[in-house]
Amino acid sequence: MVKRPTINDVARRASVSKSTVSLVLRNSPLVRPGTRAGVHRAMAEIGYVYNRPAANLRSANAGLVGLVINDLRNPFFTEFATSVQMDLAARGYAVVVANTDEDPVLQAQVVSAMIEHGVSAFMISPVFGRDDTTFASLARAGTPTLQVLRHVAPEAGRFPFAAPDYPSGSRLATEHLTRSGARTVAFVGGIEDWSVTKERTAGWRAAMAAAGQEPLFLGGRPGRAFGREAAFRLTTLHPEVDGVVCFNDLVALGLLSGCAEIGRKVGHDLKIVGFDDIEECAQAWPALTSVRCDVAGFATQMADTLHRWIDKGIRPVAELRTPVELVIRASSGG
Amino acid sequence: MVKRPTINDVARRASVSKSTVSLVLRNSPLVRPGTRAGVHRAMAEIGYVYNRPAANLRSANAGLVGLVINDLRNPFFTEFATSVQMDLAARGYAVVVANTDEDPVLQAQVVSAMIEHGVSAFMISPVFGRDDTTFASLARAGTPTLQVLRHVAPEAGRFPFAAPDYPSGSRLATEHLTRSGARTVAFVGGIEDWSVTKERTAGWRAAMAAAGQEPLFLGGRPGRAFGREAAFRLTTLHPEVDGVVCFNDLVALGLLSGCAEIGRKVGHDLKIVGFDDIEECAQAWPALTSVRCDVAGFATQMADTLHRWIDKGIRPVAELRTPVELVIRASSGG
DNA sequence: CTGAAAGCGCTTACAG
DNA sequence: CTGAAAGCGCTTACAG
């Protein structure tokens, strides 16, 4: 509202040139301690605040990062986005975020807007579907862009990708269920077209094949509602299923809720494993066995990767997979 | 990475002056349709993208809004923040967000950073506690700032505030429980110092007083973990309690989980009401009765309020309360 | 170590 | 309707 004091006002107040003030601002060793102190005093006195966009016009490094997420209301992504934001803030970046709600048009819009705002880099968990306008803009702008958690852009070299090792996760889950005595293990949740669904079912399919079992896949929107619905469907249509690997924890928690409603004992005649290990898993009853992806740790790693790319020019590897582990709790009879 | 084309490049390509290009950019009616078309063609051909920070240096309106939230991982705030972000995006703003994790120091840091980045306005759900540095910075910068959901800044005139009508919510909840036959209604969760706790207990206290009952308040961190713990504590130490109003839905859902574990029937010998009505309430088993604050609708209203403040200079009223309603489900025996 | 000048990409009067 | 000039708040060579 009120016009902010500028570098010129500081210079006048401290009786130096504005170049000197600029040097002080940028912590140059060239300026004498006494001068520096005087400048700092002047800044405090007149309430000077640095104008980053202006500085950025001449130099570079906007200190702004774009974070674009397909479904921010899903606790898995919430945790990821929040952790990334906080980690980047600790490194001095401001984060402009957008939820794309699995909508390719919205995604293209927010990405364009962020490019106009001059973000230094992007971290994106993209929507699926044949829409290249987003990545075309990104390529044209040349902004460093890291795909996380899911990938869609074809040129992996241009848009490096990192995610937890989903296939291993579902393999671990399935083997655990089989070892615990489950005879028929279904996979519940996930949209079949999505690459992430292919990855999350891969380990389960492999384990099923190894055990000589016919894989039963129940696809659906990965939320609680579908999980609840699946509880009824499984019990009615597939009573032989005694083990379930879920696409994510929301589906598993919905399944738990549905089983509670129909009075089906989870952990005994039906063993359930979730995916992601969101915080709620440990608080549920029965507590939910899940594939721990360590989102918070993954987020920290990604924040660091992006920071090194922007600041030090260190390009991330084209594809990175981080290890997952199975956390066994009551829902799988553990 | 690659230097973006500028307004000058467009001008050269379209054989006009850069002033004309600027006018086209700003949709001025002054420029002839033919000229305008030529400029647009040139922009497309060379892949011009508008440089907002540069424009902002001369004019105003950064098109950037700061969203500062005390606990982004809490689904209530997640829903709020996500809705606000999407609504503001629809109005052409980019949103830089930060989670402060109830930490006043972090809050002061991110607010300063956002001021440096030149955000046009703030929407803040502040941390509690005696820390004025955040609001002092805000006041000094003169950036329009709307307090939402919680308030802490003393000068309401300077920092308008808006939130759902919490007191009415707990009154509705308590009356409903009493009417449903509960004899002893406790309040569970919430840090006693927080103003929001005072507000959320107010209606309950009033209803208790009206019913001539002694109020039992069990304070604690408003999360699932505390809710679970409370289930055990209530059953052991306060077996007479047959109705509970919770600080928020997370506490209520934790309570549900704890009751499931100890085999206590919710909705019959213990009736529970949550607060906020997050999406999960309807998916829980038993489904959770809750005070609906309509976060999404509230968010839309706040986005609109902020937009009118920034764009049209219409100051919000000093304090706004939005109506709440009780959504009755199985957990309260409804 | 410090200052004067030019320039970053845009917008804003001001002429024409 | 269109163009030349100045200026937004900073940084960057370049002198001194």
10-residue mean pLDDT series, chain A (334 residues): 83 90 88 90 92 90 94 98 98 97 97 96 94 90 95 81 97 96 96 96 95 93 97 97 98 97 94 98 97 98 97 94 98 88
**Whole-number pLDDT of residue B212:** 87
CA distance B125 to chain A (A): 16
Say whether B283 and A53 touch across the interface (CB within 8 A).
no
Interface of A with B in 56-115 (CB under 8 A): 56-57, 62-64, 72-73, 75, 78-79, 81-82, 85-86, 89, 92, 94-99, 101, 106, 109-110, 112-115
**Whole-number pLDDT of residue A52:** 94
For residue B27, pLDDT over 90 is answered with no
Work out the average pLDDT over B193-217.
94
In this complex, the answer to whether residue A54 has its CB under 7 A from any atom of chain D, a nucleic strand, is yes
Residue nearest to nucleotide D5 (CA to C1'): B19
Interface of A with B in 226-245 (CB under 8 A): 228
**Whole-number pLDDT of residue A27:** 85
Percent helix / strand / coil, chain A, rounded to 5: 45, 15, 35
- Which residues on chain A are in Cβ contact (under 8 Å) with B47? 140
For residues B315 and A244, give the distance between their C-alpha atoms in angstroms, rounded to a whole number.
Answer: 55
Say whether B118 and A52 touch across the interface (CB within 8 A).
yes
Say whether A285 and B257 touch across the interface (CB within 8 A).
yes
Work out the average pLDDT over B51-77.
93
Q: Best of A26, A48, A56, A73 to disrupt the B interface by mutation (most B CBs within 10 Å)?
A: A73
Which residue is associated with the tokens 């850069």?
B18
For residue B334, pLDDT over 80 is answered with no
In this structure, are residues A161 and A136 in contact, taking their beta carbons and an 8 Å threshold? no
Residue B1 burial (C-beta neighbours within 10 Å; 0-12, 13-18, 19+): exposed
Least-confidence region, from A183-192, A297-306, B19-28, B94-103: B19-28
What single-letter DSSP state applies at residue B70?
S
Q: Strand, helix or coil at B122?
A: strand
For residue B94, pLDDT over 70 is answered with yes
Say whether B283 and A225 touch across the interface (CB within 8 A).
yes
Work out the average pLDDT over B2-22.
89
Which residue of chain B is at minimal alpha-carbon distance from A2? B142
For residues A117 and A230, give the distance between their C-alpha atoms in angstroms, rounded to a whole number.
Answer: 44
**Whole-number pLDDT of residue A2:** 63
**Whole-number pLDDT of residue B253:** 98
**Whole-number pLDDT of residue B2:** 63
Selecting from B78, B92, B117 the residue whose C-beta is nearest the C-beta of A53 gives B117
**Whole-number pLDDT of residue B309:** 95
Which residue is associated with the tokens 């213990």?
B270
For residues B134 and A165, give the distance between their C-alpha atoms in angstroms, rounded to a whole number.
Answer: 41
Say whether A98 and B99 touch across the interface (CB within 8 A).
no
For residue B1, pLDDT over 60 is answered with no
Work out the average pLDDT over B179-204.
96
**Whole-number pLDDT of residue B182:** 93
Q: Which pair of structure tokens corresponds to residue A163?
A: 């995610």
Q: How many residues does chain B have?
A: 334
Q: What is the spatial distance, in angstroms and rounded to an integer, between the CA atom of A325 and the C1' atom of C14?
A: 70
Asked if the C-beta of B260 comes within 8 angstroms of chain A's C-beta atoms, the answer is yes
- Higher local confidence (pLDDT), B130 or A233: A233
**Whole-number pLDDT of residue B156:** 64
Interface of B with A in 268-307 (CB under 8 A): 279-280, 283-285
- pTM, full prediction: 0.96
Work out the average pLDDT over B178-199.
95
In this structure, are residues B247 and B322 in contact, taking their beta carbons and an 8 Å threshold? no
Q: Which pair of structure tokens corresponds to residue A85?
A: 């934001």
Selecting from B47, B143, B260 the residue whose C-beta is nearest the C-beta of A285 gives B260
**Whole-number pLDDT of residue B60:** 76
- Label residues A80-97 b or e (16+ Cβ within 10 Å = b): bbbbbbbbbbeeebbbbb
**Whole-number pLDDT of residue A186:** 98
**Whole-number pLDDT of residue A271:** 98
Which residue is associated with the tokens 């820390």?
B131
Which residue is associated with the tokens 């920092």?
B159
Residue A282 φ then ψ, to 5°: -75, -20
In what helix (H) or strand (E) does residue A46 lie, and over which residues does it extend?
helix A33-46
Q: Which pair of structure tokens corresponds to residue B315?
A: 């100051």
E-state strands within B63-144: 64-69, 94-99, 121-125
